[in-house]
Structure 1
Amino acid sequence: MEMLAENPGNIVGWITDHEGELRVATTSDGVNTSILYREKESDPFKVVITTSFKETVAPLFFTFDNKYLYVSSNIDRDKRAIFKYDVANAKFLEKIYEHPEVDVTSLLRSKKQKKITGVAYFTDKRHYHFFDQERKELQEDLEKRLPGYEVAITDRSRDETKLIIITYSDKGLGAYYFYDLTTGEFRKMIDISPWLEEKYMADMRPIKYTSRDGLTIHGYLTIPKGLTPKNLPVVINPHGGPWYRDYWGYNPEVQFLANRGYAVLQMNFRGSTGYGREFWELGFKEWGKKMQDDITDGVNWLIEQGIADPKRIGIYGGSYGGYATLAGLTFTPDLYTCGVDYVGVSNILSWFEAIPPYWEPMREMFYEMVGDPEKDKELLEAASPLFHV
């Protein structure tokens, strides 16, 4: 056994080229990220680029000639796109693919044919764009065999003739399938959650509405199975993070609530990730303010659509979703009949005081994103539900 490199403690990822040579590493101090590169394994690693938490150059894999990297980046742009990147000289060479609405972070490839074949990205659901006709036809074949599901290839044999397929849906955890492209054999291997019967599950429908200041807010609405979407009791379910986003797919809490007769609205309010840097940064220092307005506007949209009974609206969430629950109950008490907060922040000032040691490297980043407890004390007090009880 031979040691190729040793982690000094700040390396969070390694990348080998297609010959198995370890040539790229990424480091992080919790806020800033660096890419380290070496031409060959006998050379020392050198830093080629360092980015702040607002910027990204995320290595995906080497080009098939092992000269360059494919990366996902938002340098000098709003949304992350796929590029060919000269890592030795820290230079962007070619834009491979961008999407006008969302970040693109996933690049597909054929190791056997030594070419990139497409990208995957998430708008309302998972979607693909293919560069390779054969790969496009394969995806169409899979989706025809498994209608109504998101379908992805999760593994394949070295000669790429035998595939392991996984499905995703809003009604269960999916299943694994085996597909032999040579013989045409296609069979289900196993259901991941056989105890869940899809026929009893509710549909999760992508929706969008406009915020009071003109932003498009995307989300998901789940209506109880068999009920008309009119004058229903509703649970508003803002996600945690808040630097995260909700996706279409199976959510046990949402299905539980729908099974008990509640419609459920999830929304990707400003500050959510995946929609570009601008949309994310619009949430900076907006806890309890415009971020909360986006949630409130979603509630009012449901009422205007006639879906929600205005006298039977509750709010529930965990972590930041718990904070949004407390903020909803204290800042807009007439909007909600009840709420359930799960590990949410009630006092942002005391939350900062309680930051654990392993979060310390991110403290200054939190100050920029949420607010500085000294410089922005009045802002944070105004945004803390505890001071409004």
Structure 2
Amino acid sequence: MTKGPLATRLLTTALAATALALPGMALADHHANDGTTMHQHHQAAPLIPRDALFGNPSRAGGQISPDGKWLSWLAPKDGVLNVWMAPVDNPDGGKPMTDAKDRPIRQYFWSPDSQSLLYIQDKGGDENFLLYGVNIASGKETTLTPFEKTRVLLIGGSESIRDKILVGLNNRNPQYHDVHLLNLNTGELTMVLQNDSYAGFMADDTLTVRMAMRQNAEGGTDYFRVVDGKVEAEPFSATAMEDSLTTNPAGYTNDGSILYWLDSRGRNTAALYAETVATGERTLIAENDKADIGGTIRDPKTGVVEAYSATYLKTEWTATDPDVKAALEFLGSNLDGEFGIQSRTDDDGKWIVWNDPLIAPSSTYIYDRKAGTLNHFYTSRPELEGAPLQPMHPVEIASRDGLTLPSYLTLPPGSDADGDGKPDHAVPMVLFVHGGPWARDGYGFNTVHQMLANRGYAVLSVNFRGSTGFGKDFLNAGNLQWGLKMHDDLIDATNWAVEQGITGKDKVAIMGGSYGGYATLAGLTFTPEAFACGVDIVGPSNLETLLSTIPPYWAPLVKVFHDRMGDPNTEEGLALLKAASPLYKADQITKPLLIAQGANDPRVKQAESDQIVGAMKKAGIPVTYVLYPDEGHGFAKPTNNIAFFAIAENFLAECLGGRAEPLGDVLKPSTAQILEGAEHVQGLEEALGS
């Protein structure tokens, strides 16, 4: 839930990520920790097919055009996600508007004038996203940023200028994004501001660049006014390093008179402030003691905040506008579970609303505010209706030094008869670690949680120190703590689960992607007896080489990594990075390890996985290594994602004794290359030979 006609329609995290972020069945008759068989625990729960969780959704990403005439969504066309469109009064009369044949389209949005559908796409996971437009009248598709090795960023959209947007392009210099005005209907690009040092820009509703941001020597951010297309020499505002990830400008009102800030300066959690541009006077709008203020709902016509959210264990919305408050209350009384707004018309009369019931597949609705009606648009994964989906339990776990770790636990079906969030008997557990690390786990339907729980495992996700959303003190407690206190938090959470009777000490696997992959490698090297096995997805093994190979467009933000991980340019920092790198302790690994990597990953290069696999082979330690030649930082193609989780669940079944859907011929439609250790995963050699 965010502002206005364009911002609500573009998931800019895919464009501007600055972290490692980063998803006929026989029962295996293995033994659980308490001596009873997994079959006895879960015989009443059918296995949920992998395809139902990780295959293409039937529909996703539903939106309504700004003029309210059209509905759009993502859906498969010949097995590949494409953008579809239908008249608003005939949602079932859709037709595909794009023709992607290989890589799925995952991000799209409407042009402000409702004349075209826009989407971004990279090649093979290289994250060089280009912008494409499809004219809805003619069906003609245009590459709006026709450049090589270029990544487009959205700088700004407008309520009053409907046929243009501001974009950033790094085609001139790969490190910096120049600001261009893009005419969405003609494709004309006009340079607005050449950038030789700034990390980002902000514009107002007139598509005038008003602010530039740049890292300062203290590791924080300097904010500069832009006047007549020129950046002023001195910043008008600045943060120190401690506030650099918890303080950000949040946009102007449409008349340009108010600048909103999410700001942690002089406090712990980020609060929402309104700053009068002419005088600099600031007004506190919202604050929360436990969590940063996160999203806002903004009036499309004025840009004024109408509601705001804070997410500690769950998301809570507070409306400041009475009409929006009434709308949210109406939705809350008519929908079970979590919900939110994912698209709005210009007149704000119709909303597209997502609903996550948590123990049923998510659905999307068309909410007519004037008529007071809520009509079902689609269910994303109807094949999950009636499946034994499990509730997620928010829990608070104490770290050894007194921090509270907000966490989420999912239990296997049939294991918790009284529904108190603890299994009747200890069960195997997977500690599933989020990426980032400057990101967070949240409450809601989670496909990995559901799959692993269905296979017989408790699943625990922990917001360890360094996670975002819980204030700067919690975030900064993770500074220079890779492999140290950040890892201690994961160990403390694992010990908590053992002490609570959720799992047994020798029945815990660690698994994760990106930073979660690093945590997996750290778990098996630094604490080799803590986990029964590990699954590392695109995780770095050598922090020194990780920092030396970051994408060029991260250069303006590199000090974030140096201040929070260790500076390789100093003797002390380099020593810290090496000490925190699992590569140098690869010979300590004693437990089974599965590694998966995308060959085109621009964030965590293939060399990160190659290095540790090579070190393990040199030490005579077995490892299973899966490489995807057409993927990047994670696996976008459903056939590849399904193949990976097929391998992972059979790996975990052999290690922890859970259930697994047999591999069958799941590898055939994927590009998975098993470079090492097929013999260590049940059924994998047979699947390769079939």
Task: Give the structure-1-normalised TM-score.
Answer: 0.87
1:153 to 324, 341, 362: 341
Q: For the structure 1 residues 351 and 178, does the alpha-carbon distance in structure 2 shift closer, same or farther, using more than 3 Å as the test?
A: closer
**What SS class does the counterpart of residue 257 from structure 1 fall into?**
helix
Asked whether the 8 Å contact 1:286–1:370 carries over to 2, the reply is: yes
Residues 156-305 of structure 1 mapped to structure 2, 5 A cutoff: 156-171=344-359, 174-197=362-385, 199-228=387-416, 229=423, 230-305=425-500
Q: Which one is further off, 292-301 or 183-192?
A: 183-192
Contact 2:199–2:557 (8 Å) recurs in 1: no
The 3 A distance-change label for structure 1 pair 303 and 104 is: same
- Measure, in 1, the Cα distance between the counterparts of 2:311 and 2:544: 35
Identity in percent: 36
Aligned to 1:321: 516
Task: Report deviation, 1:351.
Answer: 2.9
Runs of 5+ in structure 2 lacking a partner? 1-162, 165-180, 182-189, 417-422, 589-690
Kept in 2, the 8 Å contact 1:102–1:274? The answer is yes
Match of 2:208 in 1: 22
Decide which moves more: 6-15 or 291-300: 6-15
- Separation of aligned partners in 2, 1:111 and 1:118: 13
Deviates more, 1:57-66 or 1:375-384: 57-66
Q: Which residue of 1 aligns with 2:250?
A: 60
- Tell me the residue number matched to 1:382: 579
Q: Secondary structure at the match of 2:330?
A: helix
Give the C-alpha shift of residue 13 in structure 1: 4.3
CA, structure 1 residues 352+298, in 2 after alignment: closer, same or farther (shift >3 Å)? Answer: same
Partner of 2:320: 131
CA distance in 1, matches of 2:191, 2:310: 33
- State the Cα distance separating 1:275 from its structure 2 match: 1.0
Q: 1 CA distance for matches of 2:351 and 2:559?
A: 46
Task: Confirm whether residue 102 of structure 1 aligns to residue 291 of structure 2.
Answer: yes
Name 1:74's counterpart in structure 2: 264
> 2-side partners of 1:377 and 1:12: how far apart?
28
Hey, what's the Cα distance between the residues in 1 that align with 2:302 and 2:515?
Answer: 45
Q: In the aligned structure 1, how far is the partner of 2:371 from the partner of 2:300?
A: 21
Q: In structure 2, do the counterparts of structure 1 residues 332 and 11 end up closer, same or farther at CA, with 3 Å as the change threshold?
A: closer
TM-superposed deviation, 1:231: 0.5
Higher relative contact order (CA 8 A, sep 6+): 2
**What SS class does the counterpart of residue 308 from structure 1 fall into?**
coil
For residues 11 and 367 of structure 1, what CA distance do their matches in structure 2 show? 16
Alignment-mate amino acid for residue 489 of structure 2: D
Larger radius of gyration: 2
Q: Note if 1:7 corresponds to 2:186.
A: no
CA distance in 2, matches of 1:331, 1:147: 43
Q: CA deviation at 1:172?
A: 6.2
CA 1:184 to 1:356, structure 2 compared with 1: closer, same or farther past 3 Å? closer
Q: Given the superposition, is the C-alpha separation of residues 16 and 119 from structure 1 closer, same or farther in structure 2, using an over 3 Å criterion?
A: same
Secondary structure of the corresponding residue to residue 433 of structure 2: coil
Q: How many residues align?
A: 383
Q: CA deviation at 1:323?
A: 1.4
Counterpart Cα distance in 1 of 2:249 and 2:511: 37
Alpha-carbon deviation of 1:38? Answer: 5.8
Please, which moves more after superposition, 62-71 or 44-53? 44-53
Asked if structure 2 preserves the Cα contact closer than 8 Å seen for 1:78 and 1:277, the reply is: yes
Q: 1:322 to 1:11 in 2, by over 3 A?
A: closer
Q: CA deviation at 1:21?
A: 5.7
Mapped to 1, the partners of 2:483 and 2:578 lie a distance apart of: 10
> Does the CA-based 8 Å contact 2:350-2:369 persist in structure 1?
yes
**Pairing partner for 1:341 from 536, 544, 563:** 536
| Match 1:121 to one of 300, 305, 310 | 310
Cα distance in structure 2, aligned partners of 1:362 and 1:111: 31
Shift of residue 277, structure 1, vs aligned partner: 1.2
CA distance in 2, matches of 1:16, 1:274: 26
Q: What residue identity is the alignment partner of 2:488? A: D
SS in structure 1 opposite 2:384? Answer: coil
Equivalent residue, structure 2, for 1:87: 277
Structure 1, 224-233 or 44-53: larger mean CA deviation: 44-53
- In the alignment, which residue of structure 1 is the partner of 2:561? 366
After TM superposition, the structure 1 stretch with the greater mean CA deviation from structure 2, 363-372 or 192-201, is: 192-201
Q: Separation in 1 of the partners of 2:294 and 2:526?
A: 37
SS in 2 for 1:147: coil
**Aligned AA for 1:184?**
G
Over 3 Å counting, the alpha-carbon distance change for 1:52 and 1:290 in structure 2 is same
How many angstroms does 1:244 deviate by?
A: 0.9
Matching residue's letter, 2:208: L
Q: Which residue of 2 aligns with 1:144?
A: 333
**Structure 1 residues 23 and 344: alpha-carbon distance in aligned structure 2, compared to 1, 3 A threshold:** closer
2:212–2:226 Cα contact (<8 Å) kept = no
Render the CA deviation track for 1:48-83: whole Å, top value 9, x for unaligned. 334455435533343466422122112222221110
Unmatched runs of 5 consecutive residues or more in structure 1 = none
Partners of 2:303 and 2:468 in 1: how far apart? 32
Aligned partners of 1:153 and 1:164 also within 8 Å: yes
Contact 1:174 1:192 in 2 (8 A): yes
2:439 maps to a residue whose letter is Y
Gap change, CA 1:352 and 1:116, over 3 Å in 2:
closer
Secondary structure of the 2:382 match is coil
Alignment CA distance shift 1:364-1:182 (3 Å): closer
Is the Cα–Cα contact under 8 Å of residues 37 and 88 in structure 1 kept in the other structure? no
Q: Give the letter aligned to residue 410 of structure 2.
A: T
In structure 1, how many angstroms separate the alpha carbons of the residues matched to 2:576 and 2:511? 24
